[in-house]
Amino acid sequence: MEKAHELLKETFGFSSFRLEQEAVIHRLIVENENALVLFPTGGGKSLTYQIPALCLGGLTLVISPLIALMKDQVDALVRRNVKAANLDSTLTADRASWVKGEVLSGAMKILYVAPERLNNESFIAMMKRVKISLLAVDESHCISQWGASFRPEYLKIARFAEEMDVERVLCLTATATKDVADDICKSFFIKPEGIFRTPVYRPNLAFRVEAAHTLDEKIDRLIPILQSRTGPAIVQVIHLYMPKTMENYSQEVAPDIPILEGFARGDTCAKSDLELWIQEVALKEPALDGTIDFNHYQQSKTYDIRQNVLNLCYAQLELDYGHIRAVTPFYSTYDISARSDAGWKKVMADNSPPAKVIRSHWMCKGATYHVDMVATASRSKFDRAELARVINSWELDGHINSKASSVRARYMILNPLPKTTEGIQKLADLMYQRMCSREEEAIQKLRQVIEFATNDDCLAQGLASYFGDEDAVPGDPSTSGNVSATDRLVLEYLRSRGHRAAEQALLETLDTTSSDDKGKQPEVASSSTISQEDLVKRLAVFAQKSSRPGENVFKDTASVLQELQAMKNPPTIQTLLSNIGPIGAEDILSLDPTDKQEGFYELEAWVDGSLDMYRPEFRPILFPIFCHFYLDLVQHGFKEAALKFFTTFSPSLSAVHNATLHHLSTILLPSHVQTDEVAQRFRNEKYTIRMSRSGFGLLVGWLTEGVGGEATGGGEGFSGEKGKRGRAAVMRVVNNHLKFDVTSSTTSTVSPNAWEESTGFLSSVIPQTNGSATISNPYSFNSSKGELKLGPAPVAEELRTETERVLREQAMVDRDPGAQYDIHYVRQAPVPAGVIAPSLSDLPPYPPTFKNVDVKREVEKVRDARKRIRLDPSALSNVNVHTPQGAAARSRALPSICAYTLHDVGEGAPCCTFSQDTSLMAAGFSESYIRLWSLKGEKLKGYRSDFSPGSVRDVTSLRKIREKGGSTTRKLIGHSGPVYSVSFDPVGGSASPPKYLLSASADATARLWSLDTMTNVVAYRGHQNPVWDVQWSPMGIYFATASRDRTARLWSTDRISALRIYAGHLSDVDCVQFHPNSLYLATGSSDWTARLWDIQKGSCVRVFIGHQGIVSSLAFSPDGRYLASAGEDLAINIWDLGSGRRIKKMTGHTASIYSLAFSAESSMLVSGGADWTVRCWDVKSAGGLPNKMRENGALMNGFGSSEADENGSAKEEESIETTDLLATFPTKRTPIINVQFTPRNLCLVAGPYLSVEQR
């Protein structure tokens, strides 16, 4: 155990073990016995296997179902120089190969895997070659059928431990009932003395049920609760909406889809389907090794039994009836690719008979070779497992990369299943009854929850009894009114540590004190005192060393006490006081809260008293100084002074910082400063301030000598001692926490807004390159990434030739005089100077041959270009719109706008979109469904579900299998959370209706819907949090998603896992947009930045910093040269992609901006937002706020006279509308959630109507 204590201190940084951690570790590494740990979340369960892993030889294998938790723990261990890794499907081939190599070499100490990894044959083969010293099973309650989270794959863990001859097993979970704990102990042979449990009672948690039936009632109850929050920790978990039942959904969807099962969990299927499934299992012919195998996914579809229920059925056959035993499943297909040329030569030179069979049966698919293992085994004399071992050995030897798929579950026949009709029916009856009893158990649990929430008994006692820990809840003495809140916390602490005697003694003392003091009134208020030891500790950090007069003895307050105790002659209060030098005295004075109050007051007075030309440049420094002063006051325990400081000075700061200021107001304790993410970011990162050279010189002059301002009160201002201490406090923050970007530009040449927008934690939002110097300037980063290929995507010569042929034929048939010019639009316009055009080889992989739909799309694109209405915003530049000439210019400059209004949806429609051919509109709703509308009034008909695929021979027969009924609107149901984004596939362009629709939801999935069958065909899972946005690439096949997990991901419709993960944003990725040539992807984030990514490389090539709020919308110009971004700061920024610089900022909206769209000529931008307006902007004009000239610092109007009030001070009327705003089109209480241009420049917009009664 000595090594365990040493690792705890040196590797993990803890001085002692918590709870029963030491006892658990002792049982594992000293007694060599299995253990079950029942610790609460945050109780330190992970240390109970991480420390033994470093004490024991061999590998510690951790099985956990939570991939995100795996990655977090691995990252933390790697930072502590522990050899740890996770092995899951998200790893690249190279990373997975490296992990396997480290495991086989014995260098890896801790390996995290999901329970499904135990189905992987190559993983099983690898584990047989290593020594597993410890198997840690996280969330081990999933192994019990009595648990609500039962997962059949957990049953295989115990068998795996037995087959791998694991030396010791550690099971971990937060809570478990007695039945669940018994199941765990039975599965892993854990003795009663191997169970380590903490009390179930959690004094820091509370449970309350309040009923509210309307939204107003809910809001009225919520507001007081939220207002009472006093810290950054989660203090309430509120369920605002009850989940809908299946019956609710069946009433909503009406005839749209059939509801197959009425029970919400889906545990009950039809008994006839159960009989057919048993018949297939019973009649399956066993293989030579006595096993049978099945594809669960295929069986689930065939017999209409949900896959999870099907797994439970197999578990019943194994555990309840003893007919089968699950053995290692196998993959029926392998995709093989070469890892190196030398390795591939060795594969080809392998002349063993199984290797020859594999090579003779594989099918070449580009750079990969596809092997159907089942078919290959059936055609040869070799067993499938023997062929799989050859492929696994090739991969383990580093010759190839292999990807297994089409998993088939294998079962050993122990007791043959009945094969007669009577026997099958009898077994089906028994299993069906068990299913019904599971339903009754689930309903009974629900009733128990309702009874628990509604009865008058003690809630804590009820929960503790449920988990079999009736003694956990404290008795009446500790909960009586005679015990203060502080004493109650002490009692609960003693109880949680098991100090029963000390708890009882304290209770007796409290009872005695209470009786003695009864009826007495205190005569003197108690005063706070400090112990001698604590005073020594506090003084030590200010005392200087005799050998080094300029250096204090102890710098770190946290380690002072330990260092003092380790000294042979610990210093006394007298020696410490005598050794306090000038630096220590200055540090002591810096703790005075009045210095910070005075320093910020003087700084703000100096900024406000500076010249108008310098004031915008100086104001950004106030915010970081304010934040650090406030955090200093809180950290040093001056809570009242901190609150006074915040109340006094926060109103004068810029409104863009309101969200951060609100967050800081919740930080009230020193512990908050140490744990809060925002506070630690201020403490650990330099805050960048941009200044001109002259402005920086003025600031330094004020900080050092007080030059540039004068305060009232002789001797107390800038030249007095009080002013000097205030400036010293400001200077400490400037030196320690600020970084100045001094520009050579003069103050007069920089926009006032640019100073504020060029500040912040820029080094963290700008991608950094390993081994390179830190870049804090976005322009330096953008220029370092080189030139981009922004030209239009090239068209294959074969497709262009076919398009020209079709256009010629149609011109002859249609006899359209204008069609003779179509041929000129086929050839792409020359690329502007300075723009690099991509080649076909630069594009992401697309099918090598084109289809009829591609030709139709290109033909229609040519026609759209000829018939397009040209919008010319410059026509409005020098005309009076109220004259006839102005009216004519207005019609040429502005688009026609068609608005679609959604009624009776409130604010429950987060998204909508139009198809490119304008035939369909889709909207996603917060009730988790999508609704389609036919904009042409045609009925939406899907294919019938009862047709036979063999009956489809041609287009005519395909039409016959469509539904005979139908309506102009359809509802699509499949998501389990609000739908935040929808997108029609662009393959058909404006020539034909789309075939597919993508949607993104709060359920962390993106879904692909077939518009032929009106059903969900694929669910794409990979994000760990809600998916905010989904967008198709311009040519289809690929799409991108944006999520709350701070990543964007690239997907291909034919794969269920992401192709690329774009990580780097510091907060939610809120929106994504593809560049018109498909080479780049733009992302907008809640970290106030937008980024441009190289799609194929996955690297960031541009970062755009300039917004002062969440970036909620993006749009690329059709010519590919510009990016428009908009957000919560009510501004639209236009960025030049080539240089990465902002061209201009456009303002005019008065509420959040939801959507942007460029016209086809890239000359106009249309925006829609929450202010119920659609606005049109001139992209090409210079823009900017209306000019006002200044003369000698005085504000002059356009007539040359000074604008001053009666007191003689200049007044500035703020105008938020820039000059490039062409027109504003108001709606009737309709926030515009989507704006979109058709290929012919018709503008379509949509939004939900908000009634007057709605808030």
Answer whether residue 529 shows pLDDT above 60.
no
The candidate with the shortest Cα–Cα distance to 1193, out of 1203, 1182, 1179, is 1203
Asked if the model's pLDDT at residue 356 lies above 80, the reply is yes
Per-residue pLDDT band for 906 (boundaries 50, 70, 90) equals low
Task: Count the neighbouring beta carbons within 10 Å of the beta carbon of residue 1055.
Answer: 10
β-strands 738-743, 368-372 pairing: unpaired
**Residues with Cβ < 8 Å from 507, sequence gap 6 or more?**
477, 478, 491
State in Å, rounded, how far the first CA of the chain is from the last one: 63
Alpha-carbon gap, residue 612 to 1194, rounded angstroms: 9
- The yes-or-no verdict on residue 716 having pLDDT over 50 is no
Q: What is the structure's pLDDT at 1209?
A: 41
Q: Judging by DSSP bridges, how do beta strands 1027-1032 and 1038-1043 pair with one another? A: antiparallel
Least confident of 148-157, 594-603, 608-617, 1021-1030: 148-157
**Is residue 1235 a contact partner of residue 1156, using CB atoms and an 8 Å limit?**
yes
| pLDDT greater at residue 236 or residue 265 | 236
Least confident range from 542-546, 759-763, 953-957: namely 542-546
Residue with tokens 């495991």: 103
Its pTM stands at 0.54
Least confident of 389-403, 626-640, 731-745, 1207-1221: 1207-1221
Q: What is the pLDDT of residues 1052-1063, one digit of tens each?
A: 999 999 999 999
Of 491-505, 629-643, 722-736, 802-816, the poorest mean pLDDT is in 491-505
Query: What integer is the mean pLDDT of 998-1024?
Result: 92
| Helix (DSSP H) and strand (DSSP E) numbers for the chain | 43, 43
Would you state the pLDDT for residue 755?
60
Least confident of 478-482, 1071-1075, 1227-1231: 478-482
pLDDT (mean) for 646-673 = 84
Select, from the ranges 437-441, 506-510, 555-559, 1126-1130, the one with the highest average predicted confidence (pLDDT). 1126-1130
Q: What is the pLDDT of residue 764?
A: 67
Whether pLDDT at 205 is above 70 = no
Helix axes 639-649, 593-608, angle to 10 degrees: 10
> How much is the pLDDT for 1005?
94
Mean pLDDT is lowest, of 277-281, 378-382, 822-826, for 822-826
Report, as an integer, the average pLDDT of 923-939. 91
Instruction: Compute the average pLDDT of residues 1229-1252.
Output: 91
Pairing state between β 738-743 and 687-692: parallel
For 1040, the 3-state DSSP assignment is strand
Does pLDDT of 237 surpass 60?
A: no
Give the residue, 68 or 510, on which the prediction is more confident.
Answer: 68
- Across the range 123-128, mean pLDDT stands at 87
Lowest-confidence segment of 105-114, 217-226, 292-301 by average pLDDT: 217-226
pLDDT at 811 exceeding the cut of 80: no
Task: Examine the pLDDT at 489 and tell me if it is beyond 70.
Answer: no
Burial class (CB in 10 A: 0-12, 13-18, 19+), 1212: exposed
Percent of the chain with pLDDT over 70: 74
Q: Average per-residue pLDDT in the chain?
A: 78
Q: So what's the pLDDT on residue 318?
A: 79
Residue length, the chain? 1255
Mean pLDDT of 683-710: 79
Please check whether residue 1022 is in contact with residue 1067, taking contact to mean a CB–CB distance below 8 angstroms.
no
How far, in whole angstroms, is CA 378 from its chain's centroid? 46
Where is mean pLDDT largest: 77-81, 258-262, 488-492, 751-755?
77-81
Quick one: which of 975, 1233, 904, 772 has its CA closest to 249? 975
Q: Which two tokens stand for residue 457?
A: 């008994």
Residue where the block lists tokens 């854990």: 190
Instruction: Give the best-scoring range by mean pLDDT among 156-160, 237-241, 708-712, 819-823.
Output: 156-160
DSSP letter for 868, please. P
pLDDT at 523: 40
**pLDDT above 70 for 658:** yes
Q: Is 617 or 527 the better-scoring residue by pLDDT?
A: 617
Confidence bin at 944 (pLDDT 50/70/90): confident
User: How high is the pLDDT of residue 782?
Assistant: 86
Residue 264, pLDDT score: 37
In order of their start, the domains of the chain are: 2-197 (3.40.50.300), 274-434 (no CATH), 474-510 (no CATH), 541-586 (no CATH), 591-760 (1.25.40.500), 797-867 (no CATH), 911-1169 (2.130.10.10), 1185-1216 (no CATH)
Is pLDDT larger for residue 946 or for residue 157? 157
- At 715 the pLDDT is 35
Residue 452 reports pLDDT greater than 80: no
* CA triple 22-28-29, angle to 5 deg: 90
Q: What is the pLDDT of residue 784?
A: 86
Residue 761: the pLDDT is 72
Please tell me the predicted confidence (pLDDT) of residue 889.
Answer: 76
Pick from 524-538, 733-747, 1231-1245: least confident: 524-538
**Average pLDDT of span 486-512:** 61
Q: Quick check: 980 and 990 in contact, CB under 8 A?
A: no
DSSP letter, residue 879: S
pLDDT (0 to 100) of residue 955: 65
Residue 393: how many CB atoms within 10 A of its CB?
A: 17
**DSSP characters over 72-117:** HHHHHHHHTT--EEE--TTS-HHHHHHHHHHHHHT---EEEE-GGG
